[in-house]
Structure 1
Amino acid sequence: MNEELKHKFYISTDKSKLDIKAIHDFLQSCYWTENIPLRIVEKSIKNSLCFGLYEGDTQVGFARVITDYATSALLKDVFILEPYRGQGLGKWFVNYILEYPELQDVQRWLLGTKDAHGLYRRYGFKNLTEPEKIMMRLNHNAHQL
């Protein structure tokens, strides 16, 4: 990413700067969070380490990390708004998150993606080496009103 862009954009973990409506608007149309209720987005932000990417006062990207800050972290909800893509912001954003000082003790990072494998591989993410050791449970009643 060139220096000019770094001076035009900035990253913050200050939750008071987050544009919750913009985050919700984006997430409710994504394959991984389709139709997610606003209250669930608010709760997920409240209970995560959040990163906002901004151009001035305008939020143009978002990501959050669910973590204990010591052993494991789950990278979630990473996005850059469409008009801002193709400028290297996604690479800069992910690198910033992975290099964030409070997360340097984390040994195991996880994430889920359907179409951004190339981006994440450059940061050391790879397919599960022992998928038989990873389990999941779906709660089909979650997010019901």
Structure 2
Amino acid sequence: MSRLQISDDPALLDIGLIHRFLSQQTAWAKDIPRATVERALANSLCLGGYLDGSQIAFARITTDRATFAYLADVFVLPAQRGKGYSKQLMEAVLAHPDLQGLRRFMLATSDAHGLYAQYGFAPPARPATLMERYFPSIYQDQATATASGKAE
């Protein structure tokens, strides 16, 4: 297994690759506009994973860098899966100096519970205390409205 080079340097991120993957290959961000991805990246701590200078993995963390973090948009390109890169990426996320001493670190996943459990993530201890506003089809709704001339 090759060692993944992992960096939090925003200048190294392949924004086109990240947008294409999120908008075309995920259920959670299907049809997300590139401008939305760019805004999310600009306001988050992002880690890119690189092999021979090409990005093959990504993780985005929304955080105040003191008490709370939310892990989102984690992926390894399909051709590179099964090689341990997701574990290397998670180790880098958890070792990042800006993410130490947090009271709460959250994420949502539909299919990677086994991976995240290896790093101490578990169902909420007190789920009745958590609430959310959730709009799963927001990007498709916006795209439909734009296409029909109802929004810009």
Within 2, Cα distance between the matches of 1:139 and 1:79? 21
Q: Per-residue deviation at 1:140?
A: 7.8
**TM-score of the aligned structures, taking structure 1 as reference length:** 0.91
SS at match of 1:66: strand
- What 5-or-longer segments of structure 1 have no aligned partner? none
CA distances 1:95-123 after superposition (whole Å, capped 9, x unpaired)? 11011112112121000000000000000
SS at match of 1:93: helix
| 1:14 pairs with one of 9, 17, 22 | 9
Contact preservation (8 Å) 2:7, 2:47: yes
Which residue number corresponds to residue 53 of structure 2?
57
SS at match of 1:90: helix
| 2:112 pairs with one of 87, 92, 116 | 116
Large movers: runs of 4+ above 2 Å: 138-145
Amino acid aligned to 1:114: S
Aligned-residue CA RMSD in angstroms? Answer: 1.6
Choose 117-126 or 95-104, whichever is displaced more.
95-104
Amino acid aligned to 1:25: R
Q: Per-residue deviation at 1:39?
A: 0.5
Choose 109-118 or 50-59, whichever is displaced more.
50-59
- What 5-or-longer segments of structure 2 have no aligned partner? 143-151
What is the aligned-residue identity percentage?
42
**TM-score of the aligned structures, taking structure 2 as reference length:** 0.87
Larger-Rg structure:
2
